[in-house]
Chain A
């Protein structure tokens, strides 16, 4: 019975992660965006913890803690701090309107289920939805990077893609070798830091964080 409960919890949390991704596509403010990302990461940490309990493999607990600390707390703090310091305007300025964005995101979810359908038919019950959802979150993150014009939103898009990936990692493989996971965390953290530095420099050179100004190099 306990197992059934775990599976239900995991499915519930995975669905919630997908919903947050959709919510992000509908948000209009930077702060809301970062908070949603933090919320999504915390739920990812929760899934890891439940999975660790379910499979009994201890190293997934470490992953859960790392996710919570790095992606749930440190990175969102850093993003909020950068937004304050760079005086980014609070509006998101989408290139694709919100209703259209939501429609496209819905389409992407269907595509993700369609693509993973042959893979998951043979998979275990736990992973059946998670793989499709992880792919959907990756796709939506990618779409967000394309359709929102600020450097900061592109960073959040990338981070969400990585959240999707982590869902895939922990659900389909019950955690890759631990050293790899720690390395990946370290890399994500470094990437955000470095992009933050670049965002700061772009802000200084162009006096804007709007990446549509980055259109000089062509041909």
Chain B
């Protein structure tokens, strides 16, 4: 009954669409996304611990479980955060009731399309769902209808459509590579079936197929050098949407790459891994340069997403139990931490009415709670202990060393050290100093601190204790990659 899980966001979108009052929209949106999270729990449990659920059309295994968890959790927090964010926009006259309805309908449709990506078995349907996420979210990126927002959403739409077209070419070639093993009448793109014959797929076709899928979906996952849409879209979208794009959408695209990576590493060992490693390190290097030079707070965070997607790709590319575990863990850690950062940035930007980091000073004085959470999140995102991201990076480094990839480990460490310095410099620059004249002290809302506190506690708990249920679930995901933890 996976349909139930998909139905919840659809119904929520519908209810938000027909609501007459502002309050009703908020209530439907928050309650709907919480229900979706509750409904998802048994599915995730099943996916992680009771072996794959395969009903033909739907297929849930630990990998789907991991990304499903991220989607429902972050969507619930985003809809909670959106309440006060949009109330503020309403007060400023940036959005009217119609915009509000439009925003929430699209938000839940977006969540629906992303859930689709991770629960369908057929790679063709997955492709359709990925394209669906682009189409829905393009409207969210262009929500403010200013010229910059239009520019960002046009770029997003065009670049990601080209990417996704290339990915489709990859899927076709993948299908062609299975024709020998399955016979011409097999007529299937189901991942579970392809997995069972992965060893017999045509290696030459599969190699080309993986390249196209990596470049195509990698565009959406924000891997350099195909990442150019990402900072624009992230900086122009409403901040809760930026969080959703960065923490969830990029992961959904990565999910598609990983599915094919699993197939490819069985048929042509080493080929897909080395490509993932290359793109991972390259993204990391590009992101480092831009993190150091960006002046806009949200672009800064967007480049940090490029960095972390690079780290995730690197981890999966390295292979081996330690690195893959690190990468799986990093998916979760990055989503939670980046959402926290964007929420913090949302508070700051609405208060200071600017995204320029040099104009944002004295946060510690004007909005102490946000500042405290931002410092916490900033330390976490830069990779300092005892937060979750540190653990992920540590596992990946030890994985690289265990496999004798000393050069990769060296480059990786050097880059994250530079990023660490750049990140902390920027964050502390905003927190300290003297606020501009005439800016009243005080937070711009209490409710929006709640999701931030939840996120901050989550990354702290994950970093300090790593609960057994989490590590077991991660272990189940790691097994899929043909290595045991």
Residue of A nearest to B166 (CB): A138
Q: Per-position contact with B for A141-175: 1 when CB-CB < 8 Å, else 0?
A: 01001000001001000100110010011001110
A120 to chain B minimum Cβ distance, whole angstroms, is 10
Encode contact with A along B117-146: 1 for CB under 8 Å, 0 otherwise: 000001011011001100100110010011
A135: which B residues are within 8 A, CB to CB? 169
Q: Write the B61-79 contact mask toward A (1 if CB under 8 angstroms, else 0).
A: 0000000000000000000
Query: Looking across the interface, which residue of chain A has its beta carbon closest to that of B184?
Result: A174
Residues of A within 8 A of B176 (CB): 172-173
A165 and B138: CB pair below 8 A? no
In the complex, identify which listed stretch (A35-43, A69-77, A85-93, A179-187) lies at the interface while the others stay far away. Answer: A179-187
Report Cα–Cα, A191/B132, bound state, in Å.
Answer: 9
Complex contact B205–A198 (CB within 8 A):
no
Known A173-B179, A194-B135, A198-B157; contact A142-B145, beta-carbon cutoff 8 A? no
CB distance from A162 to the nearest CB of B (A): 6
Q: Is the CB of B151 within 8 A of A214?
A: yes
Query: By DSSP majority rule, is chain B's interface helix, strand, loop, or mixed?
Result: helix
Q: Which residues of the partner chain B approach A214 to less than 8 Å between Cβ atoms?
A: 151, 154-155
Q: A165-B165, A194-B157, A198-B154 are in contact. Are A187 and B132 (CB under 8 A)?
A: yes
Does A180 contact B157, Cβ atoms closer than 8 Å? no
Given contacts A118-B204, A158-B162, contact A198 B153 (CB under 8 A): yes
User: Which residues on the B side are within 8 Å of A177 (C-beta)?
Assistant: 122, 124, 187-189
Q: Is B347 an interface residue (CB 8 A)?
A: no
The answer for the CA separation of A24 and B179 in the assembled complex, in Å, is 34
Chain B contact patch, size range: 35 or more
Check B408 for interface membership: any CB of A closer than 8 A. no
Q: Can you name the residue of chain A whose Cβ is closest to the Cβ of B124?
A: A180
Instruction: Report the separation of the CA atoms of residues A119 and B169 in the bound assembly, to the nearest whole angstrom.
Output: 14
Choose among A174, A205, A211, A219 the residue that contacts B294 (Cβ–Cβ < 8 A): A219
Q: Is the CB of B173 within 8 A of A172?
A: yes
Pairwise interchain contact A190-B205, C-beta atoms closer than 8 A = no
Other-chain contact of B205, A119, A176, A186 (Cβ < 8 Å): A119
Structural contact, B138 and A184, CB atoms closer than 8 A? no
| Contacting pair A173 B151 (CB below 8 A) | no
**A96 adjacent to chain B (CB < 8 Å):** no
User: Is B295's CB within 8 Å of the partner chain A?
Assistant: yes
With contacts A177-B188, A201-B150 taken as known, whether A183 is within 8 angstroms of B293 at the C-beta atoms is no
Contacts of B153 in A (CB 8 A): 198
Given the interface contacts A177-B122, A195-B157, does A216 sit within 8 Å of B165 by beta carbon? no
B148 at the interface (CB under 8 A from A): yes
Is A206 an interface residue, CB under 8 A from the partner? yes
| CB–CB B168/A165 < 8 A | yes
Q: Is residue B152 within 8 Å, beta carbon to beta carbon, of the partner chain?
A: yes
Mark each residue of chain B from 174 to 205: 1 if its CB lies under 8 Å from any CB of chain A, else 0.
01100100001001110000000000000011
> Which residues of chain A are within 8 angstroms of B231 by Cβ–Cβ distance?
217
* Least CB separation from B156: chain A residue: A198
Instruction: Check B205–A158 contact: CB distance below 8 A.
Output: no
Contact A187 B158 (CB under 8 A): no
Which residues of B are found within 8 Å of A201, using beta-carbon distances?
A: 142, 145, 150
Chain A residues closer than 8 Å to B307, beta-carbon distance:
none
Q: Is the interface of A mostly helix, strand, loop or mixed?
A: helix
B366 at the binding interface (Cβ < 8 Å): no
CB of A108 closer than 8 Å to a CB of B? no
Contact A145 B165 (CB under 8 A): no
Cα–Cα, bound, A211→B153 (Å): 12
Task: Determine whether A115 belongs to the interface, using a CB cutoff of 8 Å to chain B.
Answer: yes
Interface size on A, residues (CB 8 A): 40
- In this complex, the member of B128, B158, B173, B295 whose beta carbon has the largest number of chain A beta carbons within 10 angstroms is B158
A62 contacts B by Cβ under 8 Å = no
Q: Do B148 and A168 have beta carbons less than 8 Å apart? A: no
Contacts of B299 in A (CB 8 A): 219
- Whether A202 sits at the interface, judged by CB under 8 Å, is yes
* Residues of B with C-beta under 8 A to A169: 172
Question: Would A154 and B158 count as touching, CB distance under 8 A?
Answer: yes
Q: What are the residues of chain B within 8 A of A211 when measuring CB–CB?
A: 154
B480 at the interface (CB under 8 A from A): no
A202 to B142: give the CA distance in the assembly, Å: 11
A161 (CB) vs chain B CBs: closest residue: B165
| B179 / chain A contacts, CB cutoff of 8 Å | 173
Contacts of A187 in B (CB 8 A): 128, 131-132, 135
B162 contact from A145, A180, A205, Cβ within 8 A: A145
- Chain B nearest CB, measured from A51 CB (Å): 13
Contacts of A162 on B, CB cut-off 8 Å?
A: 165
Q: Is the beta-carbon distance between A202 and B154 smaller than 8 angstroms?
A: yes
Contact A219:B293 (CB < 8 A) given known A119-B205, A173-B179, A201-B150: yes
User: Residues of B contacting A216 with CB < 8 Å?
Assistant: 147-148, 151
**CB of A158, distance to nearest CB on chain B (Å):** 6
B304 at the A interface (CB under 8 A) = no
Check A191–B125 contact: CB distance below 8 A: no
Minimum CB–CB distance from A3 to chain B (whole Å) comes to 16
B418 at the interface (CB under 8 A from A): no
Chain B residues whose CB sits within 8 angstroms of the CB of A161 once the complex forms? 162, 165
Q: Across the interface, do B165 and A217 meet the contact criterion of CB distance under 8 Å? A: no
User: What residues of B have a CB within 8 angstroms of the CB of A179 in the complex?
Assistant: 122, 124-125
Does B161 interact with chain A (Cβ within 8 Å)?
A: yes
In the bound complex, how far is the Cα of B148 from the Cα of A201, in angstroms? 12
Provide 12 A-B residue pairs closer than 8 Å at the C-beta atoms, listed in order of the A residue: A161-B165, A165-B168, A168-B169, A179-B125, A180-B125, A187-B128, A187-B132, A191-B161, A194-B157, A217-B231, A219-B293, A219-B295
Instruction: State the A residues within 8 Å of B (CB).
Output: 115, 118-119, 135, 138, 142, 145, 151, 154, 158, 161-162, 165, 168-169, 172-174, 176-177, 179-180, 183-184, 186-187, 190-191, 194-195, 198, 201-202, 205-206, 211, 214, 216-217, 219
4 new A-B contacts, CB < 8 A, other than A172-B175, A173-B172, A216-B148, are A138-B165, A176-B172, A180-B125, A202-B154
